[in-house]
Amino acid sequence: MKLIVGLLLAALTFAAVRASACSAMGLILAQPAPYFQTGGTMKDTFNVTVFGNTTNGTCNYFLTFDYGSSNSYTNRSAKKGSDVWPYQVSADSAGLQILKKFPEVNSCSDVICDKLQGSTFYNTKTSSYTVAFNTANDWRSAGTYLDTVTVRLYQGNTSNYTLVASQAFLLTFGSHKKADLSVVSSGGTFDLSKTTHTINFGNNLTTGAQGTADVIVKYNSGYNLFAWSDNGGKLKQVNGTDTIDYTFKINGTTYAIPWWTQIATQTGTSPASGLVNPVTIIIGNTSGKAQGSYSDTINLTIQSSQ
pLDDT at res. 282: 98
What percentage of residues in the chain have a pLDDT greater than 70? 93
pLDDT at res. 186: 98
Burial pattern 146-181, b for ≥16 Cβ within 10 A else e, equals ebebebbbbbbebeebeebbeeebebebebebbbbb
Helix (H) or strand (E) holding 15: helix 2-19
C-alpha 31/C-alpha 175 separation (Å) is: 21
- The residue ranges of the chain whose pLDDT is under 50 are 1-19
Nearest to 50 by CA among 160, 138, 164, 134: 164
Is residue 48 within 8 Å of residue 28, measured between CB atoms?
yes
Class of domain 21-175 (CATH, top level): mainly beta
pLDDT at res. 3: 27
Instruction: Report the chain's mean pLDDT, rounded to a whole number.
Output: 92
According to CATH, the topology of domain 179-303 is Immunoglobulin-like (2.60.40)
pTM of the model: 0.82
Domains 21-175 and 179-303 share a fold: yes
pLDDT at res. 20: 56
pLDDT at res. 143: 97
C-alpha 132/C-alpha 64 separation (Å) is: 17
What is the rounded end-to-end Cα distance, in angstroms, of the chain? 85
Report pLDDT digits (tens) over 66-108: 999 999 999 999 999 999 999 999 999 999 999 999 999 999 9
Which DSSP letter does residue 296 get? -
Q: Going along the chain, which residue ranges are E strands? A: 23-29, 35-37, 43-54, 59-65, 77-80, 83-90, 112-116, 120-133, 143-157, 160-175, 179-184, 210-219, 223-229, 234-237, 243-250, 253-255, 261-266, 275-283, 294-295, 298-303
Which DSSP letter does residue 12 get? H
Nearest to 173 by CA among 83, 256, 59: 83
Give residue limits of the domains in the chain: 21-175, 179-303
- Residues 8-11: contacts with CB under 8 Å, at least 24 apart: none
Report pLDDT digits (tens) over 252-289: 999 999 999 999 999 999 999 999 999 999 999 999 99
pLDDT at res. 70: 98
pLDDT at res. 21: 73
